[in-house]
């Protein structure tokens, strides 16, 4: 059972003031269900853009919602952690499920998400043939997924980051393993697909954002698991992306890279924008070490297909050693433990 979160009088009044207004409470209920824009919210609530923006500003100042820019659009969502948010979620749980206003908001939210899903599906359909062709060349997704889950183990993940998230497959695959997650991608079209997939799977612990893999719009040392899945071969300087990922890891955090082993399919450069024709164990391992990470395991997954068209997928697992180093230093500084060594 979650421990009761307690506030000082002023703090409690501030949260209740921010949430204790009908429109703002409706906004909080909607933003607890995922990312929405001001346009989405005006359509759902039937209120003017300036009015919605003013309420969002107040909720942001109270530390209850996150705002992040994606091109010309700004997305909002309920914060995923913090004392104030725990209190707000408790308030929302006490709202009657059959309240007519909240029911109507829910119906309009479903309509907004349905339109979002249709647009995403249209983009996905235009590119599906290309993705299907690439999938036929290498290991089945199911085999990669199984190997990844076995590799990371059963331990609960507090914060998960997926770089180059694409359709959000990793966010869906590991749902239930993490407390919160963020997916980053440079393609707004792909982010639309990912959002639709998260909506369809009813995953609210994960969000996706537009961002540059070389300069991430996130706090450093904030994640204990990061994945880079089939992304590095599109990059001109993949080692810089690895360095940036390492910067995001907490001490003791893990980075998993999934990509293609070296191959000779030159047509992938022109037809599918691959800048690198796979990576050797040595290359990625050296980049990981240069980023200050310890390589713990390297796993090759073979497609089982005959001929030169078959591609091998490699998984690298590396860890930030700072937590282990600190533990060893503590052990050596303890007279009792040092005496046992």
- Hunting for tokens 């969002």 — which residue is that? 56
Choose the weakest-confidence range: 10-14, 197-201, 310-314, 324-328. 324-328
- Please give the pLDDT value at position 95: 86
More confident residue, 190 or 297: 297
Nearest-angstrom CA–CA distance, 29 and 88 = 9
**310 vs 174 pLDDT, higher one:** 174
The proportion of the chain whose per-residue pLDDT surpasses 90, expressed as a percent, equals: 51
130 pLDDT exceeds 90?
A: no
pLDDT at 328: 56
Q: For residue 317, what are the β-bridge partners?
A: 256, 297
The rounded distance, in Å, linking the Cα atoms of 64 and 39 is 20
**Using one digit for the tens of pLDDT, what is the confidence trace for 172-214?**
999 999 999 999 998 888 898 899 999 999 999 999 999 999 9
**DSSP codes joined into one string, 47-63:** --HHHHHHHHHHHHHTT
| Residue found under tokens 């039937």 | 46
Choice between 182 and 139, residue whose per-residue pLDDT is larger? 182
Residue 117 confidence class, pLDDT cut points 50, 70, 90: confident
Q: Using CA atoms, how far apart are residues 320 and 248, in angstroms rounded to an integer?
A: 10
Mean pLDDT of 155-160: 95
Reported confidence tier of residue 326, pLDDT bands at 50, 70, 90 = low
Q: CA end-to-end span of the chain, whole Å?
A: 40
Q: Among 86-95, 107-116, 134-143, 291-300, which range has the highest average pLDDT?
A: 291-300
Lowest mean pLDDT among 52-61, 274-283, 294-303, 321-330: 321-330
Strands 65-70 and 73-78: antiparallel
Q: Which pLDDT band, with edges at 50, 70 and 90, does 300 fall under?
A: very high
pLDDT in tens, 21-37: 999 999 999 999 888 99
**Binning pLDDT at 50, 70 and 90, where does residue 1 land?**
very low
Q: What is the mean pLDDT of the chain?
A: 86
pLDDT in the model for residue 277: 86
Q: What is the DSSP string of 270-290?
A: HHH--SSS---HHHHHHHHHH
pLDDT digits (tens, 9 = 90+) for 51-93: 999 999 999 998 999 998 766 778 898 988 888 888 888 888 8
Distance CA 194, CA 277 (A): 26
């Amino acid at each position: 059972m979650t421990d009761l979160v307690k506030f000082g009088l002023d703090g409690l009044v501030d949260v209740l003031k921010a949430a204790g207004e009908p429109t703002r409470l409706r906004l909080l209920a909607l933003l607890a269900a995922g990312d929405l824009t001001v346009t989405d919210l005006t359509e759902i609530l039937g209120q003017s853009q300036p009015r919605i923006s003013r309420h969002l500003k107040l909720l942001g100042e109270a530390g209850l919602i996150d705002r992040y820019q994606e091109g010309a659009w700004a997305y909002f969502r309920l914060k995923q952690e913090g004392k104030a948010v725990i209190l707000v979620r408790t308030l929302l749980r006490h709202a009657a499920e059959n309240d007519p206003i909240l029911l109507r908001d829910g119906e309009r939210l479903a309509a907004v998400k349905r339109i979002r899903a249709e647009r995403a599906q249209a983009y996905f359909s235009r590119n599906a043939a290309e993705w299907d062709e690439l999938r036929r060349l290498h290991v089945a997704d199911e085999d990669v997924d199984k190997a990844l889950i076995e590799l990371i183990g059963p331990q609960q993940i507090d914060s998960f980051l997926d770089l180059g998230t694409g359709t959000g497959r990793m966010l869906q695959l590991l749902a239930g393993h993490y407390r919160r997650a963020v997916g980053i991608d440079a393609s707004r079209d792909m982010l639309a697909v990912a959002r639709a997939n998260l909506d369809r799977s009813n995953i609210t612990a994960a969000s996706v954002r537009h961002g540059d893999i070389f300069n991430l719009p996130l706090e450093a040392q904030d994640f204990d698991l990061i994945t880079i899945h089939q992304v590095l071969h599109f990059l001109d300087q993949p080692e810089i992306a690895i360095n940036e990922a390492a910067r995001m890891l907490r001490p003791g955090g893990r980075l998993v890279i999934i990509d293609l082993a070296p191959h000779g399919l030159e047509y992938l450069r022109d037809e599918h924008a691959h800048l690198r024709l796979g990576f050797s164990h040595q290359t990625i391992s050296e980049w990981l070490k240069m980023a200050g990470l310890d390589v713990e395991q390297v796993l090759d997954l073979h497609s089982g297909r005959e001929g030169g068209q078959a591609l091998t997928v490699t998984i690298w697992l590396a860890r930030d050693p700072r937590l282990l180093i600190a533990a060893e230093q503590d052990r050596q500084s303890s007279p009792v433990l040092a005496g046992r060594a």
